[in-house]
Structure 1
Amino acid sequence: MKFLIFLLLPALATAQHLSSALSAYLQKLPASVQVSVALESLADTVRFYHRADALVPSASVIKIPIMVEAMERVKTGGFDLDQTHVLLAAEKTGGSGILQTYPNESKLSNREVLTLMMTHSDNTATNILIRELGMEQINRRMQTLGLTQSRLNRMMMDTLAARQGRENRVTVREMNALLTKIHRHEVATPALCDQMLDILKRNEDNLTFRRFLPPSTVIAHKTGGLAYVQGDAGIFYVPKPFVLSVFVQGTDTENAQRIIGEIARICYQQLQ
């Protein structure tokens, strides 16, 4: 028993330091700023949660469960990553992404569509996959995997649905849980999980988690942003790897992105 306690002491000390640092930072923010945080070490028992079960507008972070559903279908033969998709004019939508600039009837593989959804947060690619996979099927998969609160309720750039309150929503605890399942090869197949992690590592957005970290830091993550929310969820591949999800509401985009970056920096410094 004494030996076990001795082994746990470093993790307990780290957890205390991390909790103190994050709590102090969050307490300094204006009361109008709402921050949801879930931090879980993948190497030991270090945890930190703040508003972890609050439903928040997901923005493009909802694209993680869409990717998982696609890979689960690949596993069962219901979705072929190498199949060609012909891009139609009617499929193009605004917001983030580059497919909207492609010529009509451009040919892409499903793999390219999936990759663009994650690396460029491409909304056209996302809507193509939602139509192909089915919104209810994506939601059922989340339920099956234990994500009982998170839900895809609308297509990308469906402003009418958003105004009517049909918003895509997640919790930071559930996004951490899904990322942890991918990391541990607990969804689809190990090879498909590795493909998902590789795609997540190629995210080109450096305005949030990466904002204050060394450029060489490896993070498998997905960002998301709307005028009223900014979020990031990912796995940090540091000596003591950890999974972190952060969403910020109640402030402007630049400040929200900075807050996410500062929280990531605190976690990075404590878990090196």
Structure 2
Amino acid sequence: MSGAISDVFARVGATGFLHAREIGADYGREVSVRSDEPVVLASVFKVIVLVAYVRAVDAGLLDPRGRTVVSARYRIGGVGVAGFADDVEASWRDLAHNMMTLSDNAATDILYHRLGREAVEQVVSDLGLSQTRLIGCCEDLFASVVEDLGGGTKSDFKDLLEAATAEQIRGLSVLDPLRTTASTPRDITTLLNAIWTDTAASPTACRIARDIMAQQVWPHRLSSGFPSDVRIAAKTGTMPAVRNEAGVVTYPDGRQYAVAVFTRADSLADRLPPVDASIGVAGHLAVEHLRALSL
């Protein structure tokens, strides 16, 4: 099976890393393709921030209905409040929703700063994600790009990136799992399994996390490989040459599978639909293999 899945990625000009397991089952049955090699998380790290958020709400440390202003500091471009032209006031729960459903970077960063780095990293420690390393939030990742490209505090991120050569982009620290926020596919399915078995936080908190993840709007990666009667709750991650998605698929018979798929494309093109689709194809192959093992 690992060979067939690797071929899926090779056919679209990418290298793939995958781990899949049934929720609640032991590791005796799994599908593994480079699952213990380090990978760039990109926005998949927001799942960890989400767990820290629901823990804080559950502990009474954060009122989800409380409101905050998303100021110019956080408007770094992209979807959601990150791309707004003006300051906006929003509740913490709406920011958490935007972080996961749209991959809103501004919502992520203001939540991260409200929760605190220690609370986010505590999730990694508590769940035994020994191969996972965070270097901060989205603005920290963007700052590393500016530094790598020789910019300063007043440099325009988009201008720097547009002027960079392919060689400079490939050399960015955010694209090197040994120098940026990174993990392994196995660590990420461990994280997902903990959320779906109510061990990442209280049952109530985990249910909130699952409900939010089920509302993600992007259907072009993991969801594209499964029939419409299979429910998907997941998080994407994207950077130059990097396209990821990790989530849980729930079949009509109630069985659930954690799937973490990470890709590194040969091309730096902004749009690579075949690579996006390969995530769904590979995820479906892995899950169907797991289901066949239990017949």
Q: TM-score, normalised by structure 1?
A: 0.84
Tell me which of 14, 25, 30 is aligned to 1:33: 14
1:206-225 correspondence to structure 2 within 5 Å:
206-225=219-238
Output one character per residue of 1:169-194: Cα deviation in whole Å (capped at 9) or x when no partner.
12111110111111011122111111
For 1:259, the equivalent position in structure 2 comes to 278
Tell me which of 97, 104, 112 is aligned to 1:130: 112
1:157-196 correspondence to structure 2 within 5 Å:
158-162=141-145, 163=148, 165=173, 166-196=179-209
Query: Looking at both structures, which has the greater relative contact order when contacts are Cα pairs under 8 Å and sequence separation is at least 6?
Result: 2
From the superposition, tell whether residues 136 and 228 of structure 1 become closer, same or farther in structure 2 (CA, over 3 Å): farther
For 1:42, the equivalent position in structure 2 comes to 23
Aligned partners of 2:202, 2:9: CA distance in 1, in Å? 42
- Matched to 1:99, the amino acid is V
- Matched to 1:261, the amino acid is G
Tell me which of 81, 84, 87 is aligned to 2:67: 84
1:50-199 correspondence to structure 2 within 5 Å:
50-95=33-78, 97-102=79-84, 104-156=86-138, 158-162=141-145, 163=148, 165=173, 166-199=179-212
Unaligned runs of 5+ in 2: 149-171, 174-178
Query: What is the number of residues matched between the two proteins?
Result: 251
- Matched to 1:211, the amino acid is S
From the superposition, tell whether residues 88 and 29 of structure 1 become closer, same or farther in structure 2 (CA, over 3 Å): closer
* Alignment RMSD: 2.2
Q: Percent identity?
A: 24
1:269 Cα deviation after fit:
3.8
Aligned partners of 2:242, 2:45: CA distance in 1, in Å? 13
1:206 Cα deviation after fit:
0.8
For 2:265, the equivalent position in structure 1 comes to 250
